[in-house]
Structure 1
Amino acid sequence: MPDLVVRKFIVQVEEIFHEGGPVRTQPVKRGTVMAVVANPYAGKYVEDIQPFMEDLRPLGLEMATKLLAALGGDAATIEGYGKGAIVGGGGELEHGALWHNPGGYAMRELLGDAKAIVPSSKKVGGPGARIDIPVTHVNASYVRSHFDAIEVGINDAPRNNELVLILAMTTGSRVHARVGGLDAKDIKGEDGLR
């Protein structure tokens, strides 16, 4: 199995009080953690890439822990999540797909009883490439108030032989959510959808 080599981590947190409407006393927090890691498969086609997915599991938990700490440390306050990856030009989209399992399961494990699938996006791009990380409610994907996205990117990553792996969490809905649909207080928690 290839060694996991991390070049750097970036943690970002936004506190949103309003978007032109009433000002909240408690802001909605939206955070991301990004890891820039070496892509052991860059520059060549490798048939069996799944072993690297196992190597990424501890990184997923480390990143989720960093992000939760940046958002206050209380798993009960996290209402939304998402994940994504940017693959450097020497890699292929499938290398970003290796993040689905370790990134998603790490957040679900850390948050306890999260029921919803963790939405995801991935792309191939060079240094400075930006990506929208989709966000949905942690327990019910049909909660419209939590449909969101967080745009991220790093000015010097990914280099040709790197991956940028991303996790996102939020402490609430869009700050002025008011388009109806299933309300978070009405979640049944049976199937991760409703």
Structure 2
Amino acid sequence: MSELVKVRKISTQVEEVYHEGGPVRAEPVLKGSIVAVVENPYAGRYVEDITPFMEALKPLGLKLAKQLIEALGGDAETITSYGKGAIVGEDGESEHGATWHVAGGYAMREALGKALAIVPSSKKVGHMGSRLEIPLTHKDASYVRSHFDAMEVGLGDSPRRGEILFALVMTTGGRPHARLGGLAAEDISQNDGLR
């Protein structure tokens, strides 16, 4: 990994969702997140060109994407939705979190093989212990209504003032009791990332 990317810790969380008050599923929907807490090389100062950090994050993005797929059972073909996000420590700016767009998004696309939809994201500047809601959509068609969801990420000791918490989220299914119609995953046909 590049000298620009100094990782303090990586944390993975997996939820097994069997129901949300309705019928119990035989197989749970798995929702997983992986976060890396990284030193912010631009904390406390304005730097015009921050693209070197964006480029340097690419190997970390791919490592995290592969680790999250493993945590969710190891089969990329079972992953149906995804999202990404960043919490920038107090001495940084939201643009520092935006360096994750390329590194996190393209890493998931590469690790999953086929993923046509835009990777939804959120970012903010926050204090230590901040939480972030990361939106989720179907990886191949953003209009698949059953997969509109979110997952909360965060760590109690992160990000410190000079750090950034970068996150990826993936699931093996949509909401457990989705029943509001719209485009169904099995009806994706246009292969345009939307429908």
TM-score range relative to shorter protein = over 0.9
CA contact (8 A) 1:143 1:181 kept: yes
Q: Alpha-carbon deviations, 1:74-111, whole Å to 9, x = none?
A: 01100000000000000000000000011000000111
Cross-structure match for 1:158 = 159
Inter-CA distance 106–6: structure 2 relative to 1 (3 Å threshold): same
CA contact (8 A) 1:115 1:189 kept: no
Map residues 24-63 of structure 1 onto 2, 5 A cutoff. Answer: 24-63=25-64
Q: Alpha-carbon deviations, 1:115-160, whole Å to 9, x = none?
A: 0010000000011100000000000000000000001111000000
Identity of aligned residues (%): 65
Cross-structure match for 1:121 = 122
Q: Could you list the runs of 5+ residues in structure 2 that have no partner in the other structure? A: none
Are 1:12 and 2:13 counterparts? yes
Q: Distance in 2 between matches of 1:162 and 1:62?
A: 19
Cross-structure match for 2:135 = 134
Structure 1 segments, 4+ long, off by >6 Å, are none
Instruction: Specify the SS of the correspondent of 1:182.
Output: coil
Matched to 1:90, the amino acid is D
Kindly tell me the number of residue pairs found equivalent between the two proteins: 194
Map residues 69-80 of structure 1 onto 2, 5 A cutoff. Answer: 69-80=70-81
Instruction: Specify the SS of the correspondent of 1:133.
Output: strand
Using the size of structure 1 for normalisation, the TM-score is: 0.98
Matched to 2:173, the amino acid is G
* Distance apart, 1:190 and its partner CA: 2.2
* Distance apart, 1:2 and its partner CA: 5.2
Q: Distance in 2 between matches of 1:189 and 1:41?
A: 42
Instruction: Specify the SS of the correspondent of 1:42.
Output: coil
Coordinate RMSD, CA, aligned: 0.9
Matched to 1:156, the amino acid is D
Q: Alpha-carbon deviations, 1:32-67, whole Å to 9, x = none?
A: 000000000000000000111110000000000110
Q: Distance in 2 between matches of 1:3 and 1:24?
A: 45
Q: Distance in 2 between matches of 1:16 and 1:8?
A: 26
Cross-structure match for 2:174 = 173
Q: Distance in 2 between matches of 1:92 and 1:189?
A: 38
Inter-CA distance 13–189: structure 2 relative to 1 (3 Å threshold): farther
Using the size of structure 2 for normalisation, the TM-score is: 0.98
